[in-house]
Amino acid sequence: MTADSTLLQMKYARIVALLAQKKGIDEEKALELFYNSDTYMLISKGVSDFHCLSDAYLAEEILLEQKK
């Protein structure tokens, strides 16, 4: 199943805001972190309905990716 592009863009913005808040960085750096993550790739390609997961969960996944 694929998500509506407008809804995905809104989800991306919420995830980026969460990343900025959790890491204490500005949203520009958070945006870079988001777009360079494997999680973003999975969401954007519609793999395993990742877009259905909560924003907080996806933000945590990206933070975990970064630690690896």
DSSP 37: S
pLDDT above 80 (res 62):
yes
Separation of alpha carbons 34 and 41, rounded Å: 9
Residue type, 22: K
Give CA–CA dist 22/58, Å, rounded.
Answer: 12
* C-beta atoms surrounding 44 within 10 Å: 15
pLDDT for 4-57, tens place per residue? 888 889 999 999 999 999 999 999 999 999 999 999 999 888 877 888 899 999
Alpha-carbon distance 33 to 19, whole Å?
Answer: 8
Q: Please tell me the distance from the alpha carbon of residue 9 to that of residue 64, in angstroms, as a whole number.
A: 22
